[in-house]
Amino acid sequence: MRTRPLKVALLGCGVVGSEVARIMTTHADDLAARIGAPVELAGVAVRRPSKVREGIDPALITTDATALVERGDIDVVVEVIGGIEPARTLITTAFENGASVVSANKALLAEDGAALHADAEKYGRDLYYEAAVAGAIPLVRPLRESLAGDKVNRVLGIVNGTTNFILDKMDTSGAGYSEALDEATALGYAEADPTADVEGFDAAAKAAILAGIAFHTRVKIGDVHREGITEVTAADIASARRMGCTVKLLAICERAADGASVTARVHPAMIPLSHPLASVREAYNAVFVEAEAAGQLMFYGPGAGGSPTASAVLGDLVAVCRNKLGEATGPGESAYTRLPVSPMGEVVTRYHISLDVADKPGVLAQVATVFAEQGVSIDTVRQQGKDGEASLVVVTHRAPDAALSGTVEALRKLDTVRGVASIMRVEGE
């Protein structure tokens, strides 16, 4: 074993960063044995130096992150500060000064991953980011290494624990969205500003990363169709239950049947209770990967939190340190297919549409005519009426999303349709 330690700079010491530092200290001997050399925490960049950080030598604390990554003796930089800047500049500076990088920064990787990979390759460094996608769940490495010889056709999963907790509570307790969000906040699953989670931005960034790795093409967060869960109601949950379904916020990345394009989307969807994702409860994550040779694989576990995310960071740290000792680098970006990302309108889906309609003869015929004119086939219809008003629930067969959207617009123009109560896609057949 080499006795000279590999030096690690830690950027950020919040919930995840503090756990990374703790594990590096308490598991130092095990990490050294696994790597083949000791690792040493050489500096910790923070915004608030006066905060007490148990187990971390105060002499390691600095507010000058740039000076830390420019030192020249740093072997690996662990970036857990998040956001676009200054993280992007600090990572590039680390590459320039001889350090490889381990990051948990999904937003940056989804926005500017291609440029970061290019910089890593230019300077001969590693860029690892297992923790950016699904916390402790091994997903990035299986996709870009274990399945490197296979052809992945679909990635489908729950990649945001906050939204899964909220939807699970709405389903199991009958709570409304606001009540479930309040509970998630009280338990620490939701941030004070939950926008990134409940509006689907967090899941969309992860979908972009997963699609890029799975399909060997470049996918940015702006390419991902995104819908959040703020419009999901207790009535939607009840409708799903009557269909033998539940509602989940899904990230779905697919290769087109002809192999000429890919799609990436995040939105709420009804899935059958028989589907394995339907049983993913509370703040857990689960992802299905469908590959030609391997078949269907499922990855399940805690997708967020200090300890789970730190576990993924440390796994990457071990791999990068091993590469350093061997004077090698691991796999970089693979974007050779250069597949275009198709717009959401071309995606083929099913819909569950709930309409408030007049309770009189001929309404169902009018609605059915609209579907036929738009080229959308109806699977099932359920109608209930009382005191001159009725609800009509239509579940379609699979059709292009644009055709289904056109159908909804045409339905709104019928004088017998009082309103569109809810619209939701149906997945996981």
Q: What is the CA radius of gyration of the chain?
A: 24
Residue 69: both structure tokens together: 């990554």
Q: How far is CA 233 from CA 174, 182, 395, in A?
A: 10, 15, 18
Q: Is 241 exposed, middle or buried (0-12, 13-18, 19+ CB in 10 A)?
A: middle
Cis amide linkage into residue 142, ω under 30° from 0: no
Q: What does the CA dihedral 126, 221, 158, 301 come to, rounded to 10 degrees?
A: 20
Q: Is 419 exposed, middle or buried (0-12, 13-18, 19+ CB in 10 A)?
A: exposed
Active-site residue (options: 206, 220, 248, 324): 206
Distance CA 339, CA 335 (A): 9
Query: Of 123, 75, 127, 122, which Cα lies nearest the Cα of 101?
Result: 127
Distance CA 77, CA 103 (A): 8
Cβ neighbours of 381 (radius 10 Å) = 13
Cβ neighbours of 412 (radius 10 Å) = 12
The answer to whether 125 and 150 have CB atoms below 8 angstroms apart is no
Distance CA 180, CA 60 (A): 41
Distance CA 410, CA 386 (A): 25
106 included as an active-site residue: no
Distance CA 261, CA 254 (A): 9
Three-state SS at 141? helix
Q: Give the sheet arrangement for strand 61-62, strand by strand.
A: 61-62, 39-45, 6-11, 76-79, 100-103, 127-128
Q: Which residues are catalytic?
A: 206
